[in-house]
Structure 1
């Protein structure tokens, strides 16, 4: 902890040394719809350490990219609302089940929010820490940007710490560079559940007229201690039945000296070359403001240089003037220190307009001169507010992805009878230890040809055709040494999209496996949104859907380790979804309805026995596939209200599965947030309130430590969780460029039935006081 605080201090000192910061709460700042962060003048004047004036440009754009390098502008992470909940592994609205500790594995309770299982299955539970390429924010900034964030609770024995640092800088207008550092250390309020995650990411982008490129390099190291849950849920659910009270660290757990370790390294490169043409277009209001300011700044700079030159000449002539004396003389005598023609400009010497000069038109009266000057001024202004825009018509795109992953399950102590099966695997450190190691790497190349949207008035949509090849390599422990497997897949596809305009947008994509192990795979998806005015405000109707036919992940089909082994001939999963969304900004209402249909749903099933001494016996995990079609309906409504300073935000979700023993989801999931919003001393913005998350009882997914995966409960020891609200009380602040909060999480612990489990046998943390800080710098 001490070393972490020293690191924070050093980084803060380095950043503060530049003396340039952005005021995100000022009336001069705004975040535009395209993600641009600007001020009214786009620059401001400050004094440096020597007391001289300098212009510090301020502006930030952020965006995400897809596998074709298409940019989608996003909002910079500077909003204070709900900042206090961004620290939780359970999600912004408590919609994830976790093992309780910071950085522990998690799974979404809302099925339509779950992502398709990645090829490296063991990374799936860590999406809180791992960032997909499609979600990473690239930056373009007018001055170096730094963000430092830190939140903490507890002490050296059981606390949680999360520190992150982000930095972005530009080398000219076209090149953006930066890095991200992320570190999580959750010591855990229960025994043998610590987490330690490290991420370092570097990124760069080049945005030229003809050539564009995005590069992303990241490395992740993760370590999770596995305790198998507490032995007896009554320690938490019914503590009154015991003769003595127990601290959370004193409650016995099933396992000790067991760890899951993960190493991940990723490289992503997408670049394109575009052919097109240039055209004159009118500047936007922000661009006009920026140019006017630049012209004013240039004029001021020229005036300062002329003043310095005039004062220098005066000193050479023996006249020692300070700036005040100079300004006084210049005000009384326009020719003092000025250019030779300043007198004419000031009106001291009338201009002769009867003679033609420099091939200019001769005029005979003032009215004719004024008419010509007005026409020239209008023509100059019309030209001044135009800019050259390069319009790409055709792009040639290449994307390279390279990923390496390694997972190790290491156990030095295992209770007698814990596992049902034991297999002869050579990789182990001691005769009775477990050392299951699996490796995975893949290389994927995608080539695309794109006709871009909007290059003329008839090009209402963009069109892409593409082909990709992926090679995947797997290594598992075997009886005679490591066993290796290799797969290949070739896909072709196309995309039709419309992203410009305000009324209608759509995107349709089709991808088909034509060769290799993925032959026969189909991925079809489409989204559309319609925006129209109703009662003076905008209503958005959006629809989306997909149809996917694909082989289950390799690790669903084949796995072998010290205690788990399966090899199934799995059929293709067929999954379709139709979803509709209604959003009305006037009433702050969002309604979402989705219907899923899944055939050959593939999952992991886990069973074990609990004896009278609360020992776990005969643990078994197997991959399963349900031949029957499973349907799932989801309805969700989000509604916000404001009554003066009082705000109330709620999200209610209903889910109904046709196979509740296989595709398990809670019937109802609720999040509600009630808070007062006010300002202290006109500068400190404050949200003070309480929020709660709740879901109905259900057989939630269990957790298998030996695989690091969530599983469907099977056997006679199934356990329900839920029907317990978790309430947090918080004060969330925003002061200029700083966000910070103070929170008491799980404030209702001990006030109601103590059945606070999100995952069977893994209790949540009790009442904890938390602090968090996020500081943005532009320098």
Structure 2
């Protein structure tokens, strides 16, 4: 590992010597990590022969995410905010609302239903959303100078600890073209036995944002390896250790499985590009843009004046070092004849020049020129795209392996073949492969090019081709089989993104041919912003209606011990959601109502043995024909009195069928902290945050399919929750460098399964974590 880190650091130091420039509105990052706007219209680091050592390196970057279907630019803030920085390193989530299998970077599932993803084609990587890189969630950027960011966090030691390093580099080749890479390596050895985790992500990205041509490129290769222990054999080892005659450390507690792994290797290529047809026009700049341009001009003048002064100093220094030379005219010598007077100098006639007679005419022309200069100072040349031709390419390649040696006797209820595909009859080597290539062609009539065109309109067609591979049995013979599917869909989008008051987006898509023929999706969102009592109120609403077949691996899956071929019905999902936000009181209220027919989910069951093991384990995909209704109400409310801050997120959920869709009635996150500065340079957040959820039958985890699954056995299922998880932290910022110390799970009292987020998978005890994020501009 140390050799890899050394190679990575050397590569970053080499690449950081490159230079860059751009012409957008840049986010200027101050010493506290706060973000402000700075214009890039002037070049803050002009190339010159300046050899002085006191160069000022511009620290600005412009960042955005993209819409995955069309590649539309969505401006966002850089990943430099210090608040709750420590929570970004835990896979339990920023607000602790994810269930996990205990170890960091392990599989996870949100307890908040409206935050769960839907419809991912390759189900086996879905639980690793914490480490998975997605093009529509990735931060693209333009930089004023080469930008490097290194994040490192760790805890524990070489026996049970965690190490995570994420290095990102970006540089502009010119004003439009940016490229970079991201290397992310997470390794958690695990405090309990047989639960080590290693995830590696390598990403290359690039963007080109011209007036006519725009492009985004994203390539990611990932390797994920997780040791599966099936949970501990008895929860009493954790909840009631006094019931045992011997004291057990966490690593000595027996687990159900050993020599058991889930592996995922996957690669992704994403390319979105477009060509815009339009025209140029002069538009008035905003006050912020005018100030930014003036600042850029003043900075440029100061820079040029400094260079000129340096050149003059060099010339003067050279003169002083040289001997005086004869002038060629002796002192007192006179020029023969009369020396020309200034009024006798003649200038060749220029018929193109305007003849100016009199001081009044000169003053008039100067006045007109001043007016023109004033107009030019408040105007900018803007390209207005009218029509865009869009192409998006998505290529995904997955290889999933569930591997085990010497599984416990009778652990699996069913066995569908005895011969081993790779390592012998007593081993498990369940392998599935999935390849997908998706092309989308779009035509857009863009908003804003005409005062009568208040919205943008896009039409698109998508062709999706997929292959799936896994074992199959025919006439008693086991062989490797392939399934091929294609889909053809068409759709349209109507949207309004410009302006400050009203925005909306409506998108509809229907599948007209292929395996998913008859599917359709409709999405709608809008927000209204208006002033109230000196601040801004935002009312937002969204809704969707999905009528879709479950994904391939939900209807068909073949392995040694789990096997299903299901004829599933189309699932119908609908949601109506409203959000109220008021910045003045720091309040956000979110209410959603969901209705689902033919809800498709995973279920598992097993029997407990006398010695604490498991037997007769089985799992499958199930469908609930009756309609489900889910009500969600969530309030974010923050308070501040001087240096004291108190943040709260309270979520209420009600599921009409807890046996099919179990959800906690209440989920609470609370963060109480002091925010202050030391010596006016060190920003400090010192406090504690707590997560609490009410008792419910939390989903179990089925390692054989790498999925969270509903507990279906009435005799063995258990409830979790009803106890807080508390972390104490010190979160600090110094000149843009973020770092933290946090003691996790400081509350470790008696029984009632308070130490579990997933049945039989205990969370780590009190552990001290450290992390630092260091950005470099060079």
Moved more, 474-483 or 615-624: 474-483
Residue 662 of structure 2 aligns to a residue in which SS?
coil
8 A Cα contact 1:42 1:58, kept in partner: no
Residue 102 of structure 2 aligns to a residue in which SS?
coil
The residue number in structure 1 matching 2:66 is 65
Alignment of 1:243-282 (within 5 A): 243-282=245-284
The residue number in structure 1 matching 2:447 is 453
Structure 2: gaps spanning 5 or more residues? 21-26, 323-341
Distance change in 2, residues 1:412/1:765 (3 Å): same
Distance change in 2, residues 1:18/1:684 (3 Å): farther
The residue number in structure 2 matching 1:325 is none
The residue number in structure 1 matching 2:125 is 123
| Counterpart Cα distance in 1 of 2:648 and 2:316 | 72
Give the deviation of 1:428 after TM superposition.
3.4
The reply to whether residue 31 of structure 1 matches residue 35 of structure 2 is yes
Alignment of 1:624-773 (within 5 A): 624-715=622-713, 716-750=715-749, 755-773=754-772
Distance change in 2, residues 1:112/1:553 (3 Å): same
8 A Cα contact 1:636 1:653, kept in partner: yes
| Counterpart Cα distance in 1 of 2:186 and 2:247 | 31
| Counterpart Cα distance in 2 of 1:625 and 1:517 | 19
Alignment of 1:217-616 (within 5 A): 217-300=219-302, 303=305, 359-365=353-359, 369-424=362-417, 427-479=421-473, 480-616=478-614
Residue 78 of structure 2 aligns to a residue in which SS?
coil
8 A Cα contact 2:240 2:750, kept in partner: no
| Counterpart Cα distance in 2 of 1:410 and 1:259 | 5
Residue 482 of structure 2 aligns to a residue in which SS?
strand
Report how many residues are paired: 744
| Counterpart Cα distance in 1 of 2:40 and 2:393 | 37
The residue number in structure 1 matching 2:111 is 109
8 A Cα contact 1:557 1:569, kept in partner: yes
8 A Cα contact 1:495 1:507, kept in partner: yes
Distance change in 2, residues 1:303/1:541 (3 Å): closer
Give the deviation of 1:491 after TM superposition.
0.5
Residue 365 of structure 2 aligns to a residue in which SS?
helix
Give the deviation of 1:57 after TM superposition.
3.1
Residue 372 of structure 2 aligns to a residue in which SS?
helix
Distance change in 2, residues 1:30/1:673 (3 Å): closer
8 A Cα contact 1:238 1:754, kept in partner: no
Give the deviation of 1:117 after TM superposition.
3.3
Distance change in 2, residues 1:693/1:145 (3 Å): same
The residue number in structure 2 matching 1:154 is 156
- C-alpha distance after superposition, 1:557-585 (max 9, x if no partner): 01110000011110000000000000010
Give the deviation of 1:256 after TM superposition.
0.3
Give the deviation of 1:540 after TM superposition.
0.5
Give the deviation of 1:375 after TM superposition.
2.6
Alignment of 1:88-237 (within 5 A): 88-237=90-239
- C-alpha distance after superposition, 1:592-650 (max 9, x if no partner): 01000000011111010002211201001121111100111001011000010000000
Give the deviation of 1:192 after TM superposition.
0.2
| Counterpart Cα distance in 2 of 1:391 and 1:98 | 48
| Counterpart Cα distance in 2 of 1:753 and 1:257 | 30
Distance change in 2, residues 1:219/1:302 (3 Å): closer
8 A Cα contact 1:201 1:217, kept in partner: yes
Give the deviation of 1:665 after TM superposition.
0.6
Give the deviation of 1:260 after TM superposition.
0.6
8 A Cα contact 2:42 2:300, kept in partner: no
Distance change in 2, residues 1:375/1:755 (3 Å): same
| Counterpart Cα distance in 2 of 1:440 and 1:144 | 37
8 A Cα contact 1:31 1:37, kept in partner: no
Residue 706 of structure 1 aligns to a residue in which SS?
coil
Distance change in 2, residues 1:305/1:438 (3 Å): closer
| Counterpart Cα distance in 2 of 1:693 and 1:311 | 65
Q: TM-score, normalised by structure 1?
A: 0.90
Distance change in 2, residues 1:302/1:135 (3 Å): closer
Give the deviation of 1:447 after TM superposition.
0.7
| Counterpart Cα distance in 2 of 1:594 and 1:357 | 76
Moved more, 595-604 or 421-430: 421-430
Residue 85 of structure 1 aligns to a residue in which SS?
helix
8 A Cα contact 2:19 2:171, kept in partner: no
Distance change in 2, residues 1:106/1:47 (3 Å): farther
Alignment of 1:73-88 (within 5 A): 73-88=75-90
| Counterpart Cα distance in 1 of 2:588 and 2:575 | 19
8 A Cα contact 2:526 2:542, kept in partner: yes
- C-alpha distance after superposition, 1:25-60 (max 9, x if no partner): 449x8635xxx5669998489999964454533321
Give the deviation of 1:299 after TM superposition.
4.0
Give the deviation of 1:290 after TM superposition.
4.5
| Counterpart Cα distance in 1 of 2:76 and 2:581 | 19
Give the deviation of 1:11 after TM superposition.
6.4
8 A Cα contact 1:210 1:275, kept in partner: yes
Structure 1: gaps spanning 5 or more residues? 322-343
Residue 146 of structure 1 aligns to a residue in which SS?
strand
8 A Cα contact 1:30 1:38, kept in partner: no
Residue 477 of structure 1 aligns to a residue in which SS?
strand
Residue 56 of structure 1 aligns to a residue in which SS?
coil
The residue number in structure 2 matching 1:333 is none
| Counterpart Cα distance in 1 of 2:397 and 2:377 | 52
| Counterpart Cα distance in 2 of 1:60 and 1:37 | 9
Distance change in 2, residues 1:211/1:294 (3 Å): same
Residue 376 of structure 1 aligns to a residue in which SS?
helix
Q: TM-score, normalised by structure 2?
A: 0.90
| Counterpart Cα distance in 1 of 2:50 and 2:410 | 70
Distance change in 2, residues 1:10/1:434 (3 Å): same
8 A Cα contact 1:193 1:225, kept in partner: yes
8 A Cα contact 2:278 2:384, kept in partner: yes
8 A Cα contact 2:607 2:617, kept in partner: yes
